[in-house]
Structure 1
Amino acid sequence: MSQGPGPTEVPARALVKGAVVLGAAAIVSKLLGTMQKIPLQNVAGDNVFGIYNAVYPLYITILVLATAGFPVAVSRFVAEERALGRPDGARGILKMALKLAVGTGLVCFVLLYFGAGTIASWIGNRQTEEALRSVSFALFFVPALATIRGYFQGIGQMAPTGVSQVAEQLVRVAVMVTLLIMLVRADASDSLIAAGATFGSAAGALAGLGVVLLYWRSHRLRERGLRPVVRPDTTNGPRVGYGRFIAYALPICLGAIVLPVLTLVDTFTIPRLLARSGYDEVGAMAQFGLYNHGLPLVQLVSMVVSSMSVALVPAISEAKASGTLAAVRGSAEASLRLTWLIGLAASAGLAVTAMPLNVMFYKEAEGYGVMMILAFTVVFSVIQIVSGAMLQGLGAERATVLHLLAAALVKVVLNVWLMPIWGIAGAAVSAVAAYAVAAALNVYRLRRLGFIRMPWRDYTWKPAVCTLVLSLAALAVVGAAEPLLTQAAPELSYRWRMTVIALLAVAAGALAFALTLFKTGAISAEELGAVPKLGNKLVSLLRKARLLRHRN
């Protein structure tokens, strides 16, 4: 006899709704987290911006080590316990995970707070010491926050995670900006201002924890009001012990730490290499700040372009499990081609408009040459993300980790080699090379597995023509708009003129690229329609505009 649904089973419609809520919240929180760096530089300057960007990757790496595996492990084992009708066992999983997470967080806090001076000496800049201590307080709250989020995901409730993510980022940005303004007005030192900025992470984590605890209280009240359904062969305690839980969570931590390590390479190499080139601590951090001008824009574009990878992982995993892998190859190849095309466009557009964008966001043109170089990390980073998602769906996660480690090694070697010659421009070149290596290795692995084909003609001359047209259109706007604006609106400040020029150039380049893309047949209706979730809607829209054609 088949059993009816348990009390904690979640309808499919609710799962879809929860996934949409979680995805939207993740985008909003990432957007806030990325763009909050711009007011930081505007208010405090490049030296503080450099200190912040030296400290934050280290904090993220430690945070990943302390918490990355806990939400996934908690959600999995909680879901198992609840499916067996064991709510007490699910709560036991949460208690066990909280002990581990909070204990790990406290250990990491002690190491970071009391080791701040030593770590600052490893970075090669004493100005980072106060910011390291400031950000360490977030480790009191984030492990518990991540663990409770995992519990709610395990019972199919995504709203607590989504709402707490947005609340965390909003409070983090609000506290950071408030402290920035107060400390700048008080004429505080750059190291203290940077510490105020990093303290926003602790305040945001506390706010996020407060939100999930409110959800937890509501959840417990509801549970107490319901009569629990427990199967006769169950016991109250969790079936999973500390050993099995850690064995499941640890590989996830190690896998998640690889990408932050790629960013962390710059923290421990760029300031030291700049010091060897003759910069003092303030000058080195100002240069590091200039280097980081382009990264928020690169990260934002990468986040938007690679969003299609979310749909790829479950589709490929399901197809592999059901033996229908060939059916999703077309979608995977179309997604990879579209990612390549949009990544090329984004890289070229950012490079061509680097100067006006730099002025628009950072008040001055200094450092725009480095931004031009860093723009080309976009195309390789989005390819790496989407191809990595495909490998994950195929069960080859280890390959992605090894490829990112190889990229980190390339970054170290090229930083050491190129920075004494070109300064921060050398670091930018090494970043492009590192992401190119990771992307190339992922694609090579997918080809070896026989999952994708990559006819080189589809990835070369037509995309090159489209990118050239985009670049010429944007350059034409950049070259022609400034004298016209100066004459038509002389009252506009330099920054406002550059803002108008940047927006017009981006719009002109995007329009030129889209028209050329579809008119040359660089992508067809069939290929675009094969992209998961997004394709058919775009096809319908573009056919109404008579821009799409079938491939011959």
Structure 2
Amino acid sequence: MMETKESLSSKLLKGAAVLSAAALVTKLLGMLQKIPLQNIGGDGVFGIYNTVYPFYTLLITLTTSGFQAAVAKFVAERQAPGLERERGEVLRLASAAMLVLGVAFAGLLYFGAPFLAQLIGSRLLIPAFRGAAPALLLVPVAAALRGYFQGHQRMTPTAVSQVLEQAVRVTVMIVLLLGLSRIGAGEAELAGGALIGSSAGAAAGLGVMLLYWRREKITSREALSAYGEGTTLRANTDPTSRRERRRQLLPALLKDAVPISFAALAVPLISLVDTFTLPRLLSAHGEELRIMAQVGIYNRGIPLVQLVTMLATSLSVLFIPAMAELQMKGDAGAIRRQVQVALRWFWLVGLAASLGLALLAAPINVMLYEDAAGSATLAWVAWTAAPGALVAVTSALLQGLGHVRAPALHLLAAALLKTALNAVLVPQLGITGAAIAGVAAYGAAAALNAALLLRRVQLRPRLRDALLRPAAAALAMAAAVLALRLAAAELPLGRGMAAAVSLLGVLLGAAVFAAAVLRTRLLSAAELSALPRVGPKLLTLLRKLRLLP
């Protein structure tokens, strides 16, 4: 029995590692593809794409996230011999429910594209909405199959299909952008071509899952033949009981899936606020294409911030099982220590990232997007990285302590704040106003999460450790990076020089900030080693580099 438990635990850990790695690769590809999108299509195409894509993401999340998790749970609960038909029934019912939603949302995107474009405030969005619509017919079935395999503790099919889906999406997007731009297509058609990449990627992801499913069916038939099909399925042959189980199964699936889906909606809500408010609020600043170009310039800094928050989210997930285990043991002291080191670590990383991106906004802008348009706005957008990192870690810590809904509600409140601030600031300040509103919204979500967390674990951070010493490290970093910027000020800021200044500035700033943190003992050796899984390895590396005693 002990060996079985250990092998199951090992299988779960390996599966989690596979899914985490796949998520990192897909998110990285998704963020990096925005650079060639802007470089090939220009700011107008970039703005159209980034206006439509959050709405598409919202529909995908609503269609798939809850049902995929519910399928995994229900299949996992039906692993006993004789329940093969019930596992298949779970998959069929979930696929049907998800496909109904997918068809409805695909119809909304394709046939309702003119209405949605009018609602947002730009007819240029119509081809992009229609380009994304077919994906909603394909993703639901792929997500149901992923949930099925996850219920069997088989994570490789999900990982392979997600990575291939993203790779095909990016490849098709770039190929269509190059082809359409070569024949002189307009910005709206180019953006539509870019969104068609999502449908191509969805087809590839579904194709992979169907191949795994076909192999699974062949293997199952061979196993049933060897074992004796009549013996295995005897419990499932009563048609009346099967109909009764089916009637009970769908409400049970919906009961699990709907809350998860609505909770997952909180994440893209802040981006969706800009989709529905920014084009209309910018209408006084010019004609449609110029407005979309402004939206594109506003979105230049967001992939860089998302890179920081993606890494923070990936690392923060490690705290969920650790906190749940400490909660079960009732070790309040260990919980406080874990919360303290997590908050300090992610606050420092987020602060360094925000400060570095803000100071290097102009050269990074030229390096990635060829010109310095909107560098001041990019600098403001950079300041969402610090609260974004704190939102990621505080959400994970709260979930580990059993507060699952609170982070979603706090993000909903942040989205409402973003809506109100956009209405006030964008007419006066343009896209810079939207960036400032984003900083305030993420800051509010981080503050709400942190306040609940600190109250829950009865922790009062010291002002010196929370603000004063981090400010000293930030000042040291700022001085080093500004000195580099001044030294390069007389040089022509072409793309090559901008890349050199940006990369050297990132390395210099990170080194100075890390040295200041270690010098002021903001993170002790004991606190570093307390980080789940990664802490001991990091501590060993720092000691080898003689940065810690």
Q: TM bucket by the smaller chain? A: over 0.9
Give how far 1:495 is off: 0.7
Q: 1:259 aligns with which of 261, 267, 271?
A: 267
- 1:176·1:197 contact (CA, 8 Å) conserved in 2? yes
Moved more, 249-258 or 227-236: 227-236
User: Aligned letter for 1:41?
Assistant: Q
2-structure distance, mates of 1:407, 1:377: 12
Moved more, 278-287 or 304-313: 304-313
Moved more, 470-479 or 191-200: 470-479
2-structure distance, mates of 1:205, 1:456: 49
- 1:501-520, aligned counterparts within 5 Å? 501-520=501-520
TM-score normalised to structure 2 length: 0.94
What per-residue deviation string (whole Å, max 9, x for no partner) do you get for residues 88-141 of structure 1? Answer: 211111111111111110111112211110110111011001110110111010
Moved more, 455-464 or 67-76: 455-464
Give how far 1:83 is off: 4.4
2-structure distance, mates of 1:482, 1:438: 38
For residue 28 of structure 2, what is the aligned residue in structure 1? 31
1-structure distance, mates of 2:385, 2:2: 51
1-structure distance, mates of 2:211, 2:72: 19
For residue 442 of structure 1, what is the aligned residue in structure 2? 449
2-structure distance, mates of 1:233, 1:435: 56
The reply on whether 1:541 has 2:541 as its aligned counterpart is yes
Identity score, percent: 46
SS of the aligned residue for 1:460 comes to helix
Give how far 1:325 is off: 5.0
1-structure distance, mates of 2:459, 2:223: 51
Give how far 1:274 is off: 0.5
Q: 2:336 aligns with which of 326, 329, 342?
A: 329
1-structure distance, mates of 2:385, 2:521: 23
For residue 138 of structure 2, what is the aligned residue in structure 1? 141
Unaligned stretches of 5+ in structure 1? 487-492
2-structure distance, mates of 1:91, 1:315: 34
What per-residue deviation string (whole Å, max 9, x for no partner) do you get for residues 471-503 of structure 1? Answer: 1111111221354x66xxxxxx81111111110
SS of the aligned residue for 1:340 comes to helix
The reply on whether 1:473 has 2:480 as its aligned counterpart is yes
Give how far 1:298 is off: 0.5
Moved more, 214-223 or 193-202: 214-223
What per-residue deviation string (whole Å, max 9, x for no partner) do you get for residues 210-255 of structure 1? Answer: 0111111111222222245978995365675111110110000110
Give how far 1:326 is off: 4.0
- 2:312·2:392 contact (CA, 8 Å) conserved in 1? no
Q: 1:59 aligns with which of 45, 56, 72?
A: 56
Please report the RMSD computed on the Cα atoms of aligned residues, expressed in angstroms. 2.1
The reply on whether 1:174 has 2:181 as its aligned counterpart is no
For residue 76 of structure 1, what is the aligned residue in structure 2? 73
SS of the aligned residue for 2:300 comes to coil
- 1:156-171, aligned counterparts within 5 Å? 156-171=153-168
Moved more, 231-240 or 393-402: 231-240
For residue 235 of structure 1, what is the aligned residue in structure 2? 236
2-structure distance, mates of 1:339, 1:449: 19
Q: 2:11 aligns with which of 9, 14, 22?
A: 14
For residue 101 of structure 2, what is the aligned residue in structure 1? 104
- 1:14-413, aligned counterparts within 5 Å? 14-83=11-80, 86-227=83-224, 234-235=235-236, 237=242, 241-275=249-283, 277-324=284-331, 326-413=333-420
Change (3 A) 1:3 1:473: closer
- 1:269·1:412 contact (CA, 8 Å) conserved in 2? yes
Change (3 A) 1:323 1:91: farther
User: Aligned letter for 1:208?
Assistant: G
Change (3 A) 1:326 1:522: closer
- 1:451-462, aligned counterparts within 5 Å? 452-462=459-469
Give how far 1:87 is off: 2.2
Give how far 1:306 is off: 3.1
Change (3 A) 1:114 1:540: same
- 2:125·2:188 contact (CA, 8 Å) conserved in 1? yes
SS of the aligned residue for 1:81 comes to coil
2-structure distance, mates of 1:87, 1:343: 48
User: Aligned letter for 1:272?
Assistant: R
SS of the aligned residue for 1:41 comes to helix
- Structure 1 residue ranges, 4+ long, deviating more than 6 angstroms after superposition: 2-6, 229-233
Moved more, 294-303 or 306-315: 306-315
For residue 489 of structure 1, what is the aligned residue in structure 2? none
- 1:124·1:272 contact (CA, 8 Å) conserved in 2? yes
- 1:333·1:453 contact (CA, 8 Å) conserved in 2? no
- 1:380·1:435 contact (CA, 8 Å) conserved in 2? yes
- 1:332·1:531 contact (CA, 8 Å) conserved in 2? no
Change (3 A) 1:247 1:451: farther
2-structure distance, mates of 1:16, 1:85: 28
- 2:83·2:233 contact (CA, 8 Å) conserved in 1? no
Moved more, 236-245 or 146-155: 236-245
2-structure distance, mates of 1:215, 1:10: 23
- 2:335·2:457 contact (CA, 8 Å) conserved in 1? no
- 2:332·2:457 contact (CA, 8 Å) conserved in 1? no
What per-residue deviation string (whole Å, max 9, x for no partner) do you get for residues 266-295 of structure 1? Answer: 0111100000x2311011101000000000
Q: 1:418 aligns with which of 406, 413, 425?
A: 425
Give how far 1:456 is off: 2.4
Q: How many residues align?
A: 538
Unaligned stretches of 5+ in structure 2? none
- 1:265·1:412 contact (CA, 8 Å) conserved in 2? yes
Give how far 1:450 is off: 2.4
SS of the aligned residue for 2:531 comes to coil
1-structure distance, mates of 2:546, 2:2: 54
Change (3 A) 1:358 1:330: same
